[in-house]
Amino acid sequence: MKTAYINTPVGLLELKGDAEGLASVLFKDVENVVISEKIPTELRDAASQLWEYFEGKRKEFNLKLSPEGTDFQKKVWEQLQQIPFGKTMNYQQMANKLGDPKVIRAAASANGKNPISIIIPCHRVIGSDGSLTGYAGGLHRKKWLLEFESPAPQQTLF
């Protein structure tokens, strides 16, 4: 498993993967991590596509993913990838799309265990009342990502 650290507008990201695909993209809030000067071959596409995303040049990712999880978690993560850039879904809608309105808590739990932040867009899932609910990367990052993806950015009045 190869590892790389890249700096982004939402902080440091740790990328892990191998020839089988990208296994994780996690936020790192540590001070002694060194940004990778040379990205391992196995992670170059992921790093490049993430930089394009943050430059506003990419709205969809085209990467081989290999997250580890249960079959149900993987089903939830596949559903997350169906949420378009600039759109959101609430947990109830997600449970309904999974075929069982009663799996709302299990779906929320699987969403929170997503190991591939941003690329598997768990930040696009919000509370039924439109509130920003938990996010492993912190609510400040979730807010930033949703505003960044918003089709109608807020304008200043002055």
3-state SS track over the chain:
CEEEEEEECCEEEEEEEECCEEEEEEEECCCCCCCCCCCCHHHHHHHHHHHHHHCCCCCCCCCCECCCCCHHHHHHHHHHCCCCCCCCEEHHHHHHHCCCHHHHHHHHHHHHCCCECCCCCHHHEECCCCCCCCCCCCHHHHHHHHHHHCCCCCCCCC
Quote the tokens at residue 32. Answer: 């002694």
Residues labelled catalytic: 122
